[in-house]
Structure 1
Amino acid sequence: MLICLMLGIDSWISYKTSPYIYTNIAALPTRPIGVVLGTSKYIRGGGYNEFYKQRILGAIELYRQDKIRYLLVSGDNALLSYNEPITMRKDLLKAGIPSSAIVLDYAGFRTLDSVVRANRVFDAQEFTIITQQFHCERALFIAQYQGISAQCFAVPSPENMTMVRVRELFARINTFLDLYLLHKEPKFLGPVIPIIQLPKENENNVLSP
C-alpha cells in the first residue's frame, strides 16, 4: 500500500508539471529571468558532474538566444571550500555572460528554497527554471503549490539514471510532506531585491542570507 502511494505521488507530480516543461529552445516562451538550480561541479572521487555541466550549458544557450535576460544562480555555500553560486558564476563569466546579467543566491540550500526565494526575495514574477527533467518536475510542483508562475527548460540527463531516479522518488515524497503537512519555508528569506530593477552596470549583484 505504501509503495503504491509513493508511486502515485511520483506520477502525479510528473503529470501536473508536464505542460510547463520544454526541451526545445525554439518552443520555450521568453521570460526575463532564468533560475539555475545548483549542484556540485565535481562528483565524489573526482570527475566532472554531467548534471552541472548541462545546466550551465543550458543557461548559456538560453541567454545567447535571448530567452532570458538575467540568470539567478541558486545553490549552497555551506563551506568556504564549497560554493555553488560562485562556481556557477565563474563558469558563466568564462562563457561570455556579462557580470551584470548574473545574480547570486547563496541561500538555495534546497530546491524549495531556490524556487520560493526566486519569487519572494528576488521578486521574479515569471521565470524559467534550468535543470534536468526529473528535477524540473519537482521544482515546478513546488512553484505550483506556492502560486508561482514558472516554467522549466529541461537539459539533458546522463545515461545511467537508475539510482538518481530512486533518490528522486524519495525526494518527491519529502517535498509532498514539506508542502502539504509540514508547510516548510525557506531557511532564509530577507529583504526583497527585484532583479529586473538592479542596474545593469552593477558588477556585484550578490545577496547573502
Structure 2
Amino acid sequence: MTALSFWQRFHLKKMIRLICGVGGLLLLTCITIDQSISFYVRERVFEHIEQLPYRPYAIVLGTSKYIATGKTNDYYSHRLVAAKMLIDNQKVSALLLSGDNRTLQYNEPRTMFRDLRQMGISEDRLFQDFAGFRTLDSVIRADKVFQLPAYTIISQKFHCERALLIAKYHNIDAICFTAKQPEVYFGTRIREIFARIKALFDLILGIQPYFLGEPEPLPLPENQ
C-alpha cells in the first residue's frame, strides 16, 4: 500500500510538472506572438500628430459608447477626440466611421456620426460603414468596398497594431494614429493577446469579411 501511494505521488508530480511546462510554453508563445506583431507594424504607428503624414481618409474603428454600468466608454470617447484632432489639424479631410450595426438600437457608425456632428465636424466629411462587424471587416472593406487608396486608422495603440497587421498582410497602405489609452486597461490588454492570435489564424485561414458586397468608391477629397 505504501509503495502504491509512493508511485501515485510520483506520477502526480510528473503530471503537474508536465502541465506547468506546457502551460509555460503556451504562455511564452502567446507573449512572443503579441510582441512580434507590435514590432512588425511599429513603423506605421504614430502617437504624435505632428509626425503623422496626411491621408485623405481616416477610419474610426467602432466600439460601444457605453460600458455595462451605463458610464460612457473611454475607448469610444478618446477615439472621437482623436478623429476631431486629425480633422482640425488637416491630417485627414474625411472620416469613415466603421462599426457594428447589429440592431436598430445598437448602431456604432450612426452613434459616432451623431456625436462627431455635435463636436462640430460637418456632415460632408463623415461617411459610414455599417458592416464593420470586426476589425478585419473594417480594414478590408475600406480597401475593397470603399476603395480608399491609402488611409489612417484611429484607435488605441494595441488595437491599431492588430488592425495594421491585417492591413499589411493584405498589402493595404494604412497607417495608424493612436487615440488616448484609458488609465485602467489591464483586462482589455490581456484579451487583446488572444484577439491577436485569433487574427493571425484568420489571416492564415484566409477568413474574409462577413459581408463584402459591391464596390462603393468614396470621393477622394483634396487636402483642405
Structure-2-length-normalised TM-score: 0.86
Secondary structure, aligned partner of 1:195 = coil
Q: Which 5+ residue runs of structure 1 have no aligned equivalent?
A: 199-209
Q: Is the 8 Å Cα contact of residues 56 and 220 (structure 2) preserved in structure 1?
A: no
1:108 counterpart letter in structure 2: G
- What does 1:55-204 correspond to in 2, within 5 Å? 55-180=79-204, 182-196=205-219
Q: Distance in 1 between matches of 2:199 and 2:192?
A: 10
Secondary structure, aligned partner of 1:196 = coil
Q: Which 5+ residue runs of structure 2 have no aligned equivalent?
A: 1-24
Equivalent pairs, count? 197
In the other structure, the counterpart of 1:42 is 66
For residues 43-94 of structure 1, the C-alpha deviation after alignment (integer angstroms, 9 at most, x for no partner) is: 0121010000000000011011111111000000101110000000001111
Q: Which has the higher helix share?
A: 2
Secondary structure, aligned partner of 2:106 = coil
Q: Distance in 2 between matches of 1:66 and 1:196?
A: 17
In the other structure, the counterpart of 1:203 is none
Give the number of the structure whose alpha-carbon radius of gyration is greater: 2
Q: CA deviation at 1:122?
A: 0.4
Q: Distance in 2 between matches of 1:114 and 1:197?
A: 18
Q: Distance in 2 between matches of 1:196 and 1:57?
A: 24
Supply the RMSD in Å over aligned alpha carbons.
1.0
Q: CA deviation at 1:196?
A: 2.0
Q: Distance in 2 between matches of 1:146 and 1:3?
A: 28
Q: Distance in 2 between matches of 1:13 and 1:125?
A: 23
Q: Distance in 2 between matches of 1:30 and 1:157?
A: 23
In the other structure, the counterpart of 1:4 is 28
Q: CA deviation at 1:98?
A: 1.2
Q: Distance in 1 between matches of 2:60 and 2:50?
A: 19
Secondary structure, aligned partner of 2:151 = strand
Runs of 4+ aligned structure 1 residues displaced above 2 Å come to none
